[in-house]
């Protein structure tokens, strides 16, 4: 059971003491919607069909609970959704859109960009974009690569994304990490420069500490570290040029009772640590900050001078 019910929820306006302390700058709230068996840590695991169905059903249930939570706080978010989900759960995608959230692409079936050539990546993008657009009737403008897999060696993705009609990307994590990241990329929104095109890039929030960017924007970092660390990252982001702190979460992170995947010790720890408390933590964030959809921030950035970064 989730510790949160609609009846007990209070809208943000009911917390004036919290409002006076909260940061007035908007934070971008995003969810990467994928079935749990698609996560990178389980890439080598051939999940049985029956178990896939279980994860698929739980993905829908948890996403709908998140939608209820956001409705209670009158918050709109961006949902980066795996394209196949638009085929398997078209009503869920339609309901996300109908609730005022942004529907964006999280690839066709959650394969990292490393697996593609520019041509096959373009096919993957079009399949995902078309399926999501058919479900909502709206143009998909944003993209997030599975496991933030736009890195130096896949930097060609920026040109392919621009050519596929995307307005912005949110796949470059300005950190040093074993799976992803471009450590010297800007920490606030920037223009990613490809060889022929440029694209708005919305990087997840980091906390600058000595010479390091600590990834604090979501996922395991959100569940493991005290919430104050994430919020310190938000405060730092708000002091940067064109402030827009991007947070990211996954529905499966809010489902502590789901069957566990057979992961290595380290991956299992990263994947499941803190899932019991993620719902209450998200609720705290919703009371303390003001949120916007990624596309709304991109619209505001259009008239501004942004840092440029060649990927
Ligand atoms: Zn993902």
What is the Å distance from ligand 1's center to 42 Cα? Answer: 12
What is the Å distance from ligand 1's center to 194 Cα? Answer: 23
Residue with the two structure tokens 């178990």: 51
| Radius of gyration, alpha carbons of the chain | 18
Q: What number of CA atoms fall less than 13 Å from residue 102's CA on the CB side? A: 26
What is the Å distance from ligand 1's center to 218 Cα? Answer: 12
Query: Do the beta carbons of residue 48 and residue 74 sit within 8 Å?
Result: no
Predicted confidence at residue 103, as pLDDT, reads 98
- DSSP-derived letter for residue 137 is S
* φ/ψ (deg, to 5) at 215: -75, 110
What is the Å distance from ligand 1's center to 13 Cα? Answer: 33
Calpha distance 48→46 (Å, rounded): 6
What is the Å distance from ligand 1's center to 8 Cα? Answer: 31
What is the Å distance from ligand 1's center to 31 Cα? Answer: 9
β-bridge mates for residue 28, sequence order: 246, 292
Calpha distance 256→247 (Å, rounded): 20
What is the Å distance from ligand 1's center to 33 Cα? Answer: 7
Cα angle 221-225-227, degrees, rounded to a multiple of 5: 100
What is the Å distance from ligand 1's center to 215 Cα? Answer: 16
Tokens of 207: 């906390």
Predicted confidence at residue 3, as pLDDT, reads 37
What is the Å distance from ligand 1's center to 56 Cα? Answer: 14
Calpha distance 111→116 (Å, rounded): 9
Calpha distance 297→285 (Å, rounded): 19
Q: What CATH superfamily classification does 12-310 receive?
A: Glycoside hydrolase/deacetylase (3.20.20.370)
Predicted confidence at residue 25, as pLDDT, reads 81
Calpha distance 66→62 (Å, rounded): 6
What is the Å distance from ligand 1's center to 273 Cα? Answer: 17
What is the Å distance from ligand 1's center to 74 Cα? Answer: 25
What is the Å distance from ligand 1's center to 19 Cα? Answer: 32
Give the SS3 label for residue 303: coil
What is the Å distance from ligand 1's center to 191 Cα? Answer: 23
Sign, CA dihedral 54-55-60-61, equals positive
What is the Å distance from ligand 1's center to 217 Cα? Answer: 14
Calpha distance 309→17 (Å, rounded): 40
What is the Å distance from ligand 1's center to 148 Cα? Answer: 8
What is the Å distance from ligand 1's center to 243 Cα? Answer: 24
Predicted confidence at residue 24, as pLDDT, reads 66
Q: Which segments of the chain does DSSP mark as H helices, in order?
A: 16-21, 49-72, 83-88, 90-98, 118-136, 157-163, 219-224, 227-237, 265-272, 278-288, 294-301
Using CB atoms within 10 Å of the CB of residue 193, give its burial: 0 to 12 exposed, 13 to 18 middle, 19+ buried.
middle
Using CB atoms within 10 Å of the CB of residue 178, give its burial: 0 to 12 exposed, 13 to 18 middle, 19+ buried.
exposed
Predicted confidence at residue 290, as pLDDT, reads 93
What is the Å distance from ligand 1's center to 78 Cα? Answer: 14
Longest dimension (CA), the chain: 53
| pTM for the predicted model, two decimal places | 0.91
Rounded alpha-carbon distances, angstroms, from residue 122 to 114, 159, 166: 13, 10, 11
Tokens of 205: 């929030």
Predicted confidence at residue 242, as pLDDT, reads 81
Predicted confidence at residue 220, as pLDDT, reads 85
Blockwise average pLDDT, block size 10, the chain, 311 residues: 39 41 76 95 91 97 98 98 98 98 98 97 98 98 97 97 98 88 93 97 94 89 91 92 90 95 90 91 95 96 92 92
What is the Å distance from ligand 1's center to 146 Cα? Answer: 4
- DSSP-derived letter for residue 43 is T
Q: What number of CA atoms fall less than 13 Å from residue 111's CA on the CB side? A: 16
């Amino acid at each position: 059971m989730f510790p949160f019910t609609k009846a007990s929820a209070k809208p943000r306006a009911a917390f004036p003491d919290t409002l006076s302390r909260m940061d007035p700058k908007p934070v971008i709230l995003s969810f990467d919607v994928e079935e749990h068996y698609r996560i990178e840590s389980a890439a080598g695991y051939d999940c049985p069909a029956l178990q896939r169905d279980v994860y698929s059903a739980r993905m829908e249930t948890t996403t709908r609970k998140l939608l209820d939570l956001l409705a209670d706080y009158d918050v709109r978010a961006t949902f980066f959704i795996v394209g196949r989900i638009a085929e398997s759960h078209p009503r869920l995608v339609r309901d996300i859109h109908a609730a005022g959230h942004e529907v964006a692409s999280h690839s066709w079936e959650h394969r990292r960009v490393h697996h593609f050539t520019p041509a096959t990546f373009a096919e993957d993008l079009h399949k995902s974009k078309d399926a999501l657009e058919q479900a909502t009737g709206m143009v998909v403008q944003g993209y997030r690569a599975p496991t933030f897999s736009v890195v130096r060696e896949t930097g060609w993705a920026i040109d392919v994304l621009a050519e596929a009609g995307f307005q912005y990307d949110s796949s470059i994590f300005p950190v040093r990490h074993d799976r992803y990241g471009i450590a010297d990329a800007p920490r606030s929104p920037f223009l990613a420069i490809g060889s022929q095109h440029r694209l708005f890039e919305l990087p997840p929030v980091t906390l600058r500490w000595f010479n390091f960017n600590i990834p604090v924007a979501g996922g395991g970092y959100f569940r493991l570290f005290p919430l104050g660390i994430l919020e310190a990252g938000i405060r730092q982001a708000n002091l940067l040029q064109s402030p827009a702190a991007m947070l990211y979460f996954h529905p499966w992170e809010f489902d502590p009772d789901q069957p566990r995947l057979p992961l290595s010790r380290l991956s299992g720890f990263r994947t499941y640590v803190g899932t019991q408390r993620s719902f209450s933590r998200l609720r705290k964030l919703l009371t303390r900050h003001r949120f916007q959809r990624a596309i709304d921030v991109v619209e505001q950035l259009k008239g501004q001078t942004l840092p440029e970064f060649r990927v």
